[in-house]
Amino acid sequence: MGLVVGSNPLSMDAVAALLVERFGADLEDVRIQEPDTVVARCAGERLKDVAARLKADADAGYETLNWIAGVDRRTSFEAVYHVYSWKTNTYLELHVELPRARPEVDSVTGVWPAADWHEREAWDMVGIVFSGHPDLRRILLKDDFVGHPLRKDYVDLAENHPHV
């Protein structure tokens, strides 16, 4: 039969409890967002390790990465990872806070191959550097674009519009 959705259906409380029990050291502020998402925070240095362990978890393996969003929080940056667990049919939203001066975090392409383009987009739009990414270059904007548009302090530069 292969891949099945929800082979280990747990209630949201059970999932949250499982995460606290196994990842309590690294995941802070685990809370449930109805109907099927657990939201948690994680430190940037621990991300790669946590990601690998989340994926490999036997009861709730978070095997699929849905998306990665880069957010500019004015005083810091944040990378949001939204991952899906086939076994429990629930989502986990990981918020990783990064310092404003050097927004750098390990790339998770080794854990979730889908992260490739999502991280490129986060770099392109917000300027978060994913170290260890095989090919971190701009994806949606032109190659020699200057600046990162989704930052709150982004100002449109003339050199981005040479033809105007």
Partner 1 sequence: MVDIIVGILRAILFVVIAYAVVFVAALVNILFERRALAFMQDRLGPNRTGWQGVLQSIADAFKMMGKEDFRPMLADPVLFTLAPVTVMIGAVAIQLVLPYTNGLMAIDLNVGVIFLVAITSFTTLSILMGGWASRNKYSLVGALRAAAQMISYEIPMILGLLIVAMIVGSLRVEAVVAFQAGYEWIVFYAPFTFLIFYIASIAELNRGPFDLPESESELVSGYGTEYSGMRFGMFFLNEYAGMTIMSMVAVTLFFGGWMGPFAGAIEFWGVDWIGIVWFLVKTYALVFALVWIRLSLPRLQVDQLMAFAWKVLIPLGLVNILVTAAVILWVPSWKWGLAVVGWVSFLAFVALLDPLLKRRLRKQRERQPVVSA
Partner 2 sequence: MYDHFETPEPDEAVKLALRRIEEATARGEGSDVDGLAFNEVVVNMGPQHPSTHGVLRLVVTLDGELVKDVIPVIGYLHRSKEKLAERRTYFQYIPIVDRTEYVASINCEWAYVMTVEKLAGMQVTRRAEFIRVITGELMRIASHLVAVGTFTADLSPLGTAMVFYMFREREIILDLMEELTGARMMFNYFRFGGVRYDLPDGWVERCRDFVKMFPAKLKEYEALVDDNAIFLQRTQGKGVITQQDVVDYGITGPNARASGVALDLRRSRPYSVYPELDFEVVTEQHGDVFDRYRVRMDEMRESLKIIEQCLDMLPDGPVQLGSLRAPYVITPPPGSAYVGQENPRGEYGTYIESDGSRYPYRLKFRDPCFCNLQLFPKLLSGNKIADAVAISGSIDLVLGGIDR
Which residues on adjacent β-strands are paired with residue 129? 104
Give the span between the Cα atoms of 138 and 8, in whole angstroms: 39
Question: Cβ 39 to partner 2, closest distance in Å?
Answer: 8
71 binding partner 2? (CB under 8 A): yes
Q: Residue 13, class by beta-carbon neighbours within 10 Å (0-12 exposed, 13-18 middle, 19+ buried)? A: exposed
Nearest-approach distance from CB 114 to partner 2, in angstroms: 5
Q: Which of these segments, 15-23, 34-42, 45-53, 98-106, binds partner 2 (CB under 8 A)? A: 34-42
DSSP secondary structure, 54-84, as one string: HHH-SSS---EEEEEEEEE-SSEEEEEEEEE
The number of residues that bind partner 2 (CB under 8 A) is: 42
Binding site for partner 2 (CB under 8 A): 1-6, 33, 35-37, 63-67, 69, 71-72, 80, 82, 84, 86, 89, 91, 93, 112-114, 116-117, 125, 135, 137-143, 149-150, 154
